[in-house]
Amino acid sequence: MRALRTQRLILRNWEDRDRELFFRINSDDAVMTFFPFRRSRQEADDFMERLRARIAAQGYGFTALELAATGQAIGFAGLNPAGLEPVLPADTIEIGWRLAPEFWGKGLVTEAGEALLAFGFEELDLDEVVSFAVWNNDRSTAVMRRLGMRPDAARDFDHPKVPDTHPHLKRHIFYGLTRSAWRERKKAAR
């Protein structure tokens, strides 16, 4: 995978030096508020290896986010197959992210998201990129709106991978952005 660069970030494949940060963002209660699980160190390491292999194989995925100025990994962002059939079609590509809390509120996810949308629509030739979050995850839905994504209540769903023991996390709201709407947004910004 070729790294994507923004003004402040490098989006790249995972490296062994990222393991501590990856474990932290997958086990931290604040980061994982809207998830029904926390990953152990072994589970985080295994998940990172799966992401690394997927990125190497398909050329994209949930990539490490690194501060360009320091080389410090701060979280992840990426485009990835949603994998929620039959709730979503098999070819659905989602955009997602996860950051260590000390990097929240600095516009870093929006910056990464803009680069990822350009990559998805220009290089991967995607027709649509989607995102979804637990219904009251205001931080994530605010990023979706800043990226120009639009809510589509008709496509909201109960997440099939959220266990019944966590009913407050089941309902997910759906946002999408088509390539044509993205192009219009880019034209209007000029």
- The answer to whether residue 103 scores a pLDDT higher than 80 is yes
Query: What is the distance between the alpha carbons of residues 173 and 19, in angstroms, rounded to a whole number?
Result: 31
- What separation in angstroms does the CA of 117 have from each of 78, 98, 179? 9, 17, 9
pLDDT category of residue 1 using cuts at 50, 70 and 90: low
pLDDT of residue 81: 96
DSSP state of 124: S
Overall number of domains in the chain: 1
pLDDT of residue 35: 92
Domain span including residue 53? 4-189
- Tell me: cis bond preceding 86? Omega within 30 of 0 counts: yes
- The answer to whether residue 189 scores a pLDDT higher than 90 is no
**Which is higher by pLDDT, 61 or 189?**
61
Other beta carbons within 10 angstroms of residue 135's beta carbon come to 15
Query: What is the distance between the alpha carbons of residues 47 and 42, in angstroms, rounded to a whole number?
Result: 9
Q: Parallel, antiparallel, or unpaired: how do β-strands 171-178 and 150-151 relate?
A: antiparallel
- The answer to whether residue 65 scores a pLDDT higher than 80 is yes
126-159, pLDDT tens digit by residue? 999 999 999 999 999 999 999 999 999 999 999 9
pLDDT category of residue 2 using cuts at 50, 70 and 90: confident
Q: How would you class 48 by CB atoms within 10 Å of its CB: exposed for 0-12, middle for 13-18, buried for 19 or more? A: buried
5-54, pLDDT tens digit by residue? 999 999 999 999 999 999 999 999 999 999 999 999 999 999 999 999 99
Give the percent of the chain with pLDDT over 70: 99
CATH classification of the domain holding 170: 3.40.630.30
Q: In angstroms, how far is CA 85 from the centroid of its own chain?
A: 18
